[in-house]
Amino acid sequence: MSAGPVSRVRRTLRVESASAGQRLDQALAQAWPEFSRGCIQRWIEAGQVLVDGAPRRCRDRVWGHEAVALDAELVAVGRDSPQAIPLAVVYEDAMLLVIDKPAGLVVHPAAGNPDGTLLNALLHHAPGLAAVPRAGIVHRLDKDTSGLLVVAKTLQAHCSLVAQLKERTVHREYRALVVGELAGGGSVAAPIGRHPTQRTRMAVVPDGRAALTRYRVLERYPGHCLLGVELATGRTHQIRVHLAHVRHPLVGDPVYGVRPRPPKGCAPALVAAIQGFGRQALHAVRLGLEHPETGRPMAWEVPLAADLESLLELFRREAARGTDPT
């Protein structure tokens, strides 16, 4: 593997009390999701991470409130190859790239998806992203969640967006089609962490990280609702876990959902559409943030993905059929 561009990375943080008892590398990987755990481990082993002013080992435990300082060189390694994968670019300038991610596109390469990912597409679209952590990806959408995602094109933009996400000033709004009928809007404040026995899943657990999801009802259908959902925090699978926790899982969710059971008497086309919807019915519809260079508020909105819009149209027809007095 060949080395690429070199950039200087500096970060400071105060370890959260929720991380008490974790390994240092684990706690930092959670606090700095823009860097891989392997990258963080290399920095720790090289003495480029100081905890309360002193170097530590990866396996050393943290207990909360320690002051951590990182001063390291980020070397882009030629492991992830650029690939000519089409991108739906919503906005682009020298600092930012906003895309409308389709369902089915994995964000980062992993064991099951070594290439063909958003990261590979980004490196082809803007080769300079090789010098930015994780090719500028500062937040994620699950493989089968569609919609808006922002990418930092420079280290300055990267630092700004990471800070905005941490300060919870990035506005992210979703559309979610859920099972069950809700009386009104509300919020879910419940800590999220790894499932105690199924490690590939997340769950609401007492020792998880604080998470807050707000929702409102936009449309009601037989046995289902369309919600507008806003994230106050950004935990892994947060919307999917929180809505399942309050017994209103997303339609089509293969991990946290329920077996599709369309209401009795539904039109055959709607029954088939519900049972055949092959992903979680979740779309990131709006994104708002401050421009990293000018500080100017910016916002984007995209239409719903075609598959979700088609399913909703069938639900609307069914709702209209149910209210037709004839």
Q: Token pair for residue 155?
A: 């280290």
173-193 residues labelled b (16+ CB within 10 A) or e (exposed): bbbbbbbeebeeeeebebbbb
Query: What gap in Å lies between CA 12 and CA 24, rounded to an integer?
Result: 14
First-to-last CA distance in the chain?
A: 70
| Residue 101 · residue 305 · CB < 8 Å | no
Question: Which residues have a catalytic role annotated?
Answer: 142
| Residue 226 · residue 219 · CB < 8 Å | yes
Amino acid letter, 209: R
Q: Token pair for residue 15?
A: 């370890």
Sign of the alpha-carbon dihedral angle for 135, 140, 143, 149:
negative
Nearest residue to 175 (alpha-carbon basis) of 286, 91, 256: 286
DSSP-derived 3-state class of residue 308:
helix
| Residue 259 · residue 146 · CB < 8 Å | no
Query: What gap in Å lies between CA 184 and CA 298, rounded to an integer?
Result: 30
| Phi, psi torsion values for 97, nearest 5 degrees | -140, 120
- Residue 25: Cβ within 10 Å count: 23
Nearest residue to 131 (alpha-carbon basis) of 150, 160, 158: 158
Pairing verdict, β 171-179 and 186-189: unpaired
